[in-house]
């Protein structure tokens, strides 16, 4: 995506309980979450518009969500299979995972 000139942003849409991914201002994906208790965020489902598939946007979304959770000092429960796989591949996020 280095040659990509699109504006890509991820914001925590707390009203809808999801992280929203926008590409050039257009909603293009999201990670739905729940906060089952204070300091814990459960990432439930990741979705990127099908026509944008294969462009690394789900990774951008997962990384931004996990970075936000880390910045809050919270723990994560990666229920979403995509996020769980992402965490397994990126050791820097393993410490965020809530031990059961």
pLDDT < 70: residue spans in the chain: 1-4, 100
DSSP assignments along 44-63, one per residue: EEEEE-GGGTTSSHHHHHHH
Rounded to two decimals, what is the model's pTM?
A: 0.92
Rounded to whole angstroms, how far apart are CA atoms 87 and 27?
A: 24
Question: Within 10 Å of residue 82's Cβ, how many Cβ atoms?
Answer: 18
Spatial distance between the Cα atoms of 49 and 37, rounded to a whole number of angstroms: 30
- The pLDDT score that the predictor gives to residue 77 is 98
> What pLDDT does residue 5 have?
82
Tell me what pLDDT residue 51 has: 94
Looking at residue 9, what is its pLDDT? 97
What the chain holds in terms of domains, given with CATH numbers, is 8-93 (3.40.630.30)
Predicted pLDDT of residue 41? 98
pLDDT value at position 37? 96
């Amino acid at each position: 995506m280095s040659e990509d000139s699109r504006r890509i942003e991820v914001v925590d849409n707390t009203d809808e309980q999801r992280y929203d991914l926008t590409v050039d201002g257009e909603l293009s994906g999201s990670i739905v979450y729940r906060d089952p208790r204070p300091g814990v965020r459960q990432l439930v489902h990741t979705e990127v518009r099908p026509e944008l598939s294969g462009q690394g946007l789900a990774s951008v979304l997962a990384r931004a969500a996990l970075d936000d959770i880390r910045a809050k000092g919270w723990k994560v429960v990666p229920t979403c299979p995509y996020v769980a796989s992402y965490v397994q591949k990126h050791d820097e996020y393993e410490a965020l995972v809530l031990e059961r």
